[in-house]
Amino acid sequence: MADTVDTVIIGGGVVGLACARALAQVGEVVWLLEAAPALGQGISSRSSEVIHAGLYYPENSLKAALCCRGRELLYEFCAARGVGHQRLGKLIVAQGEGGAPELEALKARGDALGVPGLTLLTEADLRQKAPALRGTAALWSPETGIVDSHGLMLALAGEAEAAGAQLVLQTAVTRLSLERGGVVLEGTSAGAPLTLKARRCLNAAGFGAFALARDVLDGVEGPYYAAGHYFSYGGQAPAPCLVYPLPEPGGLGIHLTLDLGGQARFGPDVAWRESEDYAFTADRECFAAAIQSYFPGLDPERLSPAYVGLRPKRVGPGAPAADFGWQAQSLEDGGGLLHLIGIESPGLTSALALGERVAAHWQEAFA
């Protein structure tokens, strides 16, 4: 007879941790199972650490709604708990005559979603704001910022535990099935076989979420792996804010981000892979050429390979961008299973809003 737990969360990345905190704080009995020996070592450990304002995503998408709400919650959370963050603002820089209409379209979309403070800049405005940058026009987003993602995950884990959640490491779920009264999870814990039954289960396993969802759902595609390389940039940063080109298929373009110490880094590109492969293969000259389109004074010698992140894509190269996957399965006799699939950017910004929405779903649909 398997042990029965009320709520099990699979995956201890930023999403699973935010959901564990939210569910524990409304009184649910929560176990979070993480395959790795430490929390937050998956997709969440290799991002740009940007708090996105929310202007890129289609109206009525989960990405738009959760990013805007998540941004507000994240700034409040970080300020109240002393988690490192800075509201640096961001410039999106366009080149040539075709760029300005794209910026106007981004601004219109952001305005419609209620993103505050978006302002179009002329070439002269841009030169004044950041003299090292070149562009024919720019969009200024004052609400964009940066966050210490590891500090954030530590704070979320601490609050989840303080509210009673059990965070269990080295515990991998290898199979899900549905049974009367709950979800059966099979796997291993510290090398020993494990079988658990949960009345309610959240699949927040990042790359692992796809295969687990396929155990109980038809038509789940992916994951497709879109790697993104980052180079750090030695010496002084070329601008005091984040700088992005116009978005490109599969990503937001090779951009400048700053860490909380003011160190500049550039990335990520989009390099499709066959598997969860973190090898650093980017060519420094290609990278430098992309950056020089908006920062002509870049010194390629100051670029040093930093790390590779991997996006969990629901669709492959060339397909239109997919929304976050949210697939809920209610069980006849109460309880249920919710899969969060393909939580790519802006998943870090959205994590607290996902927690809020999952907690509401638990009470409304899985009670």
Ligand X SMILES: Cc1cc2nc3c(=O)[nH]c(=O)nc-3n(C[C@H](O)[C@H](O)[C@H](O)COP(=O)(O)OP(=O)(O)OC[C@H]3O[C@@H](n4cnc5c(N)ncnc54)[C@H](O)[C@@H]3O)c2cc1C
Binding interface with ligand X (CB under 6 A) = 10-16, 33-36, 41-44, 46-50, 52, 172-173, 204-206, 208, 228, 268, 309-311, 343-349
Q: How far is the CB of 127 from ligand X (least distance, A)?
A: 27
Closer residue to ligand X, CB minimum distance, 38 or 367: 38
Q: How far is the CB of 3 from ligand X (least distance, A)?
A: 16
Closer residue to ligand X, CB minimum distance, 137 or 185: 185
Closer residue to ligand X, CB minimum distance, 137 or 264: 264
Q: How far is the CB of 185 from ligand X (least distance, A)?
A: 9
Quick one: DSSP state of residue 15? H
Cα–Cα dist 223/311, whole Å: 9
Quick one: DSSP state of residue 114? T
Alpha helices in the chain (DSSP H): 14-25, 62-81, 99-113, 123-129, 149-162, 208-214, 284-292, 347-364
Closer residue to ligand X, CB minimum distance, 49 or 159: 49
Q: How far is the CB of 340 from ligand X (least distance, A)?
A: 6
Using CA atoms of 103, 104, 108, 113 in order, give the dihedral in degrees to the nearest 10.
10
Element (H, E) at 30: strand 30-33
Cα–Cα dist 45/93, whole Å: 27
Q: How far is the CB of 182 from ligand X (least distance, A)?
A: 18
Bridge-partner residues for 310, per DSSP? Answer: 227
Q: How far is the CB of 283 from ligand X (least distance, A)?
A: 18
Cα–Cα dist 209/201, whole Å: 12
Q: How far is the CB of 212 from ligand X (least distance, A)?
A: 6
Closer residue to ligand X, CB minimum distance, 100 or 348: 348
DSSP-derived secondary structure for 181-242: TEEEEEEEETTEEEEEEEEEEEE--TTHHHHHHHTT-S-----EEEEEEEEEE-SS-S-SSE
Closer residue to ligand X, CB minimum distance, 16 or 222: 16
Closer residue to ligand X, CB minimum distance, 7 or 48: 48
Cα–Cα dist 341/183, whole Å: 18
Residue pair 143/122 in contact by the 8 Å Cβ criterion:
no
Cis peptide before 223 (omega within 30 of 0): yes
